[in-house]
Amino acid sequence: MPRLAFLGPHATFTEQALLTLPDARGAELVPCAGNPAVLAAVRDGQVDAGCVPIENSVEGAVPPVLDGLLDDPPLMIVKEVALAVRFAAMVRPGTTTGEIRTVASHNHGIAQTRNWIAGHLPHADVLVSTSTSEAAAQVARGEIDAAICAPLAAELFGLEIIADDVADHAGAVTRFVLLTLPGPLPEPTGHDRTTLAATTQNRPGSLLGLLTELAVRGIDLTRIESRPIKDRHAEYWFHLDCTGHIADPAMGEALAALHRRCDRVRFLGSYPRAGSVNGLAPGVGAPAVPEHGTDAAAFATAERWLACLRCGGSEGGALT
């Protein structure tokens, strides 16, 4: 039976995301106290894979996950899930709003409900928990008065929901990824994402040069984040998400070019992009990958043309 780790305890949004994957059927689900613990469990071989949040449509990236992906040994993203998140405020049965002096959630949960908390619980101290579900567990144990978390947690921990849909921004979506140790890559689907991280020399034009390697090959960059290199002052890792698969000629060529140009490149996986969320296809509003970016026949023709030129042939003759 495969073992899959996730940010616990049970009833977190991460567990809900994991349960949407076929991998979870018949698997043992292992809750971990914090995203770094999930990554460590995968690296140590305690589990076969781990699920963590990587990006939220309101608050952006999850820094501990981005940083943890650059530790050793390497990890690989093999799948992703986009999950619409809904928050509820819950208390022990019988607790009134006026009795709430402390309220807790995961830091991303707090960030997405801060206006609601300020308006409805203005006198409560806001505390950070390792996960939204752990905040509910703390309420059940009597350690705090209220939690902001998934409605599912109320049933699990015997709590009472005093307000539902308390997010400041409707339609928020969190992206989760499934991680394993390096192994065979998922097959290309034509609807894929490649994730990598790279560092460049700190000189004018370095980042532009990195991005140009993608742009000239028609590769759509869908996310870029910078994170400081912990033991180097004023140097950064750039985390990139791109449309396409490493098996695509354009993507493979771009990665090879980045390997030549950058100080370090870490390939973090090529995997199918998540399906639609709230009726919207992923990447709505973003330009489609140009046909020349993934057309193997076009690349083969171009290679023949280049080889002909190098041998002294004519440009026109090479394309006939």
What does the pLDDT read at residue 295? Answer: 64
Nearest in space to 124 (alpha carbons), one of 150, 83, 154, 96? 96
Nearest in space to 169 (alpha carbons), one of 251, 107, 84, 226? 84
Superfamily of domain 88-164: Periplasmic binding protein-like II (3.40.190.10)
> Residue 102: what are its φ and ψ, rounded to 5°?
-140, 140
What does the pLDDT read at residue 313? Answer: 66
Alpha helices in 44-150 (DSSP H): 63-68, 107-120, 132-140
Q: Which residues contact 206 (CB under 8 A, 6 or more apart)?
A: 200
Supply the DSSP symbol for 307. Answer: H
Measured distance CA(141)–CA(128) in Å, rounded = 16
Torsion 9-11-17-22 (CA) sign: positive
Letter for the amino acid at 267? F
> In this predicted model, what pLDDT tens digit does every residue of 176-227 receive, in sequence order?
999 999 999 999 999 999 999 999 877 788 889 899 999 999 999 999 999 9
Letter for the amino acid at 184? P
Measured distance CA(102)–CA(28) in Å, rounded = 34
pTM of the model: 0.83
In the predicted structure, residue 291 carries a pLDDT above the cut 90 = no
What does the pLDDT read at residue 294? Answer: 53
In the predicted structure, residue 314 carries a pLDDT above the cut 80 = no
Q: What is the mean pLDDT of residues 130-136?
A: 95
Q: How many CA atoms lie within 13 A of 88 on its CB side?
A: 19
Torsion, CA 136, CA 141, CA 144, CA 147, rounded to 10: 10
In the predicted structure, residue 305 carries a pLDDT above the cut 90 = no
Alpha helices in the chain (DSSP H): 13-19, 35-43, 63-68, 107-120, 132-140, 152-157, 206-215, 249-261, 291-294, 296-310, 315-318
> Residue 156: what are its φ and ψ, rounded to 5°?
-65, -40
> In this predicted model, what pLDDT tens digit does every residue of 238-287 receive, in sequence order?
999 999 999 999 999 999 999 998 999 999 999 999 974 443 344 444 44
What does the pLDDT read at residue 117? Answer: 97
> In this predicted model, what pLDDT tens digit does every residue of 117-129 receive, in sequence order?
999 999 999 999 9
Higher pLDDT: 138 or 282? It is 138
Question: Domain map of the chain by residue range?
Answer: 1-85+173-183, 88-164, 185-289
Q: What is the mean pLDDT of residues 296-316?
A: 71
Write down the mean pLDDT value for the chain: 89
CB atoms within 10 A of CB 251: 25
Round the CA-based radius of gyration of the chain to a whole number and report it.
Answer: 23
Q: What angle do CA 97, 98, 99 make, to 5 degrees?
A: 90
What does the pLDDT read at residue 170? Answer: 85
pLDDT bracket for residue 311 (50, 70, 90): confident
Domain pair 1-85+173-183 / 88-164, same fold? yes
Which pair of structure tokens corresponds to residue 85? 């998140």
In the predicted structure, residue 148 carries a pLDDT above the cut 80 = yes
Q: What is the mean pLDDT of residues 308-312?
A: 72
> Parallel, antiparallel, or unpaired: how do β-strands 28-32 and 3-7 relate?
parallel
Letter for the amino acid at 211? L
CATH code reported for the domain at 185-289: 3.30.70.260
> In this predicted model, what pLDDT tens digit does every residue of 168-190 receive, in sequence order?
988 899 999 999 999 999 999 99
CB atoms within 10 A of CB 39: 22
SS3 88: strand
* Assigned fold of 1-85+173-183: D-Maltodextrin-Binding Protein; domain 2 (3.40.190)
SS3 148: strand
